[in-house]
Amino acid sequence: LSQSILRSTEQFAKPLSFDSKYDLDATLTHAFATNTPSIFSNAQSSCGPTWEQDPTKPHYLDQVNANYNLLSSYSSLLKYCDMGIDRTPIQPDHNNLVRLAQVKSLPCTFHTREGLRVTSLSMLVELAREVKSESEGECEVGDNNEESEQTCTSGSGGDGGNGRKELHLYAVSAGRVFMFAPKHVGEIFELPHVKGPQGLPVSLEV
């Protein structure tokens, strides 16, 4: 992913800042949507528009980018992120969005499973490190008489105890808001980034 991000920044005409959430949105969208090379093992992405395309009203990207070879180097994620003029709500920060290089489409925004928006590359790195730390577990060194004793516990990762935890990023179409994607009824989402009255923790139960 890191190499794909660096390659993506080279495609933009202006220097991008990894501390700008708008620049990061464009960079990540470009990195995830590029098929040459794709960061996914299966380059044929199933992500695309959430509606059935009317053949008499093609997506504006198909009209603007008449060069088929240009669009063919990207996955259909582009048409999910940019749903077109009629299906993209105009938010107050719409003019701040950074369009992708070459195809000039609008980017997705990216959120954690708990709805926290990723706003900088350093934030993304920190989230990945937290997941890695939780997966590896913790070790404590204690003093047992003259010999040091080390006790380690493997992280459960929240996936049934197999010691593996993944960082899930959710792409949200331009102009749209994040929606939770629960796995089952009764699931509880801990929301440490949301504070209640007097700083009390907030959780969401499905």
| Residue 20 Ramachandran class (φ > 0 left, ψ -120 to 50 alpha, else beta) | beta
- Report the alpha-carbon distance of residue 89 to residue 107 in Å, rounded: 13
How far is residue 174's CA from residue 191's CA, in Å, rounded to a whole number?
23
Indicate the length of the chain as a whole number: 206
Bridge partner list, 188: 205
What local confidence, expressed as pLDDT, does residue 160 receive?
47
Q: Are 21 and 117 in contact (CB under 8 A)?
A: yes
Cα separation, 68 vs 66, in Å, equals 6
Write out pLDDT tens, residues 110-134: 999 999 999 998 899 898 888 877 7
The whole-number pLDDT of residue 99 equals: 92
Angstrom CA distances, 24 to 97, 99, 192, stand at 10, 11, 23
Return the H-helix or E-strand segment holding 23: helix 21-33
Query: What tokens appear for 76 in the block?
Result: 């259909």
Average model confidence (pLDDT) across the chain? 78
Which of 200-206's residues contact partners 24+ apart within 8 Å by CB, and which partners?
204/180, 206/180, 206/182
pLDDT on residue 94: 95
Bridge partners, 140 (sequence order): 151
CA 26 to CA 36: how far, in whole Å? 17
The per-residue pLDDT for 107 is 94
Ranges of residues in the chain whose predicted pLDDT is under 50: 43, 148, 154-158, 160-161
**What's the whole-model pTM score?**
0.76
What backbone phi and psi angles, to 5 degrees, belong to 192?
Answer: -65, -20
> How much is the pLDDT for 48?
64
